Chain A
């Protein structure tokens, strides 16, 4: 798989990371080096091997259906650049 400048630009846009046009060739080439490195893994034969999801035999932790959190509007909004009447206020986004 080879990443060209257009693909690099698209990936940056989807991730909402601003990349200047002149930085795209270097970014695309970085992507290719990273992917090339990872592709070495494809050389390993994993036919019939279950994907490993954890290095310890841990069961996914569960919680009971009990409300013990919330009621902290001030804290939740504390980092918001703008908040009004209990809401986050953001630039207009409308369909």
Chain B
């Protein structure tokens, strides 16, 4: 049933002064686990709280405090792994990544370098029109987030808030399988969609709950294929890592800028230094974060405060049994069961709320018609009014009734728009609206016939003209529709007018 055949997209090619160049991109996405409490403490993860109010002594690294792992966070990492078709490691372990920064009171981040909880998986990145890129996932590990430093409140001081310190992150590491800025954005979009379906991360990029480090390198055409054959990185260029991006638009702009910067260096006979860079959206450029370079010796070692994390296969199986229908499956089902176009199915499965809403509307009978109404009428209106699907003033059951009324021929598409407008603004039931306002389409041919006869009798001159030029029959249809208040079935009117005029 699942038709997931697709074509692979062409890599982005940038013309340098001397040659053509291709891009090679890998991403490390940090996704905040949707837990109430932190990874190793019982302090809240709530965003926007008073500074330093969501801080346990563990988070503040007070002497003698010991980390105790939040089992829900482990479960979410496993769930995410299963959703990305990845292998789950029943034994994983935590390591200390040592560096000094004011927002890291421990002096180390607890992470999983050597034994991550999730191994290799994959994400199918939909590029539209049957084109998709399969991006391999290398690993997912659990780690602590750092605190937040604010630099603009005082000219001489930085202000540190530890509320985010110790919040659980899943670092999702891809292979360098992404081949252009648009693919990079599509990859994040797809990953975010899957995480939101799974409920393991809310995907709020604005709050920094989903952010990415982007590794970019360039190579001559043909080199990437050699890498894929051998998995030998020496076929690729030296990469630079652009840190901490939380906007799709900036991710694309940063990749584009960084690729051109590297091309200019290499074509001038230089070589790219492997380094960490920061994107500046105001200037649209990346620049070196030299201060971080020296600290790059993280002296990882196993965290002696934490035993290895052992989980049971039966527990993993339980989680697997509660996985929801994932975006690829849902989309395929919408195409197969409701006869939707690829694009419409993508739009409706973009998030769970829209998909759920649509399915309720589709119970009105005609899936395609339901899709049209949800995408064109409802989404358009919601957007105009600053609503989203969860705050829609019209319930899906009511929109389903409108769709059913159209399908049954009780109202025309045109009248349906009026009914929709009333139901949307007044909290009234569509069937009641049609009844009370007398909007029911006249399908009774007798009544329509009478109206047609009347119009023909009243306009003998027009009849002559129409007989000479059948295109003018439309004028009669318009008059009849007017006379019946738009309630006559347009097809019946058309047929009767043609018959009566002898066309």
Contacts and interface: CB of A to CB of B under 8 A. Distances in A.
A67 B157 contact: no
Which of B36, B102, B156, B158 is most buried by chain A, counting CB atoms within 10 A of its CB?
B158
A63 B42 contact: yes
A93 B101 contact: yes
Given A66-B37, A87-B51, A94 B151 contact: yes
B55 A62 contact: no
B60 interface: yes
Contacts of B310: 59-60
Given A67-B36, A68-B42, A87-B159, A62 B70 contact: yes
Contact of A16 (B35, B74, B100): B100
Contacts, number: 134
B199 interface: no
Given A53-B307, A67-B42, A77-B52, A93 B158 contact: yes
B52 A86 contact: yes
B464 interface: no
Contacts of B52: 73, 76-77, 86-88
Nearest to A11: B299
Interface in B25-55: 35-37, 41-44, 50-55
Contact of A61 (B41, B68, B153, B160): B68
B154 interface: yes
A45 interface: no
B313 interface: no
Given A92-B151, A94-B151, A95-B291, A63 B51 contact: no
A60 B42 contact: no
Which secondary structure characterizes the binding site on chain B? loop
A18 interface: no
Interface residues of B, number: 54
Interface residues of A, number: 35
Interface string A52-87: 011000111111111111111100110000101111
A48 interface: no
B135 interface: no
A54 B307 contact: yes
B55 A72 contact: yes
B44 A89 contact: no
Interface in A29-66: 53-54, 58-66
Interface of A: 14, 16, 53-54, 58-73, 76-77, 82, 84-95
22 contacts: A53-B93, A60-B69, A60-B307, A60-B308, A62-B69, A62-B74, A63-B42, A64-B71, A66-B36, A66-B37, A70-B43, A70-B55, A84-B159, A85-B159, A87-B52, A88-B162, A89-B154, A89-B159, A90-B102, A92-B151, A95-B278, A95-B289
Interface of B: 35-37, 41-44, 50-58, 60, 68-74, 93, 98, 100-102, 149-151, 153-162, 278, 289, 291-292, 295, 297, 299, 306-310
